[in-house]
Amino acid sequence: MAASWADVARQMPMRTDVQIRERWSNVLDPSIATHPWDAEEDKRLMAAVQKYTRLMPGDSQKRMQCQWSAVAKELSRTDNQCWRRFQ
């Protein structure tokens, strides 16, 4: 049976279950790509951003809402990696 994040946190008293989950999800998970971005991945990033971005009525281009977690899942990257690369 897999341990919950709370179970893991009990073994690490200086960290909360949320901190442990975030560290795993954004840094330690071996499925996260850490190699340098290449041209093909940049194309996939742009396509995913278009797919998951919506402009709400009355909003300007500066206020577009992008689902970075969905973009990240398609690229096997973190949402932060994708957002930073897109900027």
Q: Spell out the domains of the chain, with CATH numbers in brackets.
A: 1-30 (no CATH), 33-87 (1.10.10)
Q: Which two tokens stand for residue 30?
A: 């071996």
Per-residue pLDDT, 66: 85
Q: What is the 3-state secondary structure (H, E, C) of the chain?
A: CCCCHHHHHHHCCCCCHHHHHHHHHHHHCCCCCCCCCCHHHHHHHHHHHHHCEECCCCCCHHHCEECHHHHHHHHCCCHHHHHHHHC
Share of the chain above pLDDT 90, in %: 62
| pLDDT tens digit sequence for 28-60 | 999 999 999 999 999 999 999 999 987 666 666
Single-letter residue type at 85: R
| Average pLDDT over all residues of the chain | 88
Q: Give this prediction's pTM.
A: 0.74
Start-to-end CA distance of the chain, whole Å, equals 41
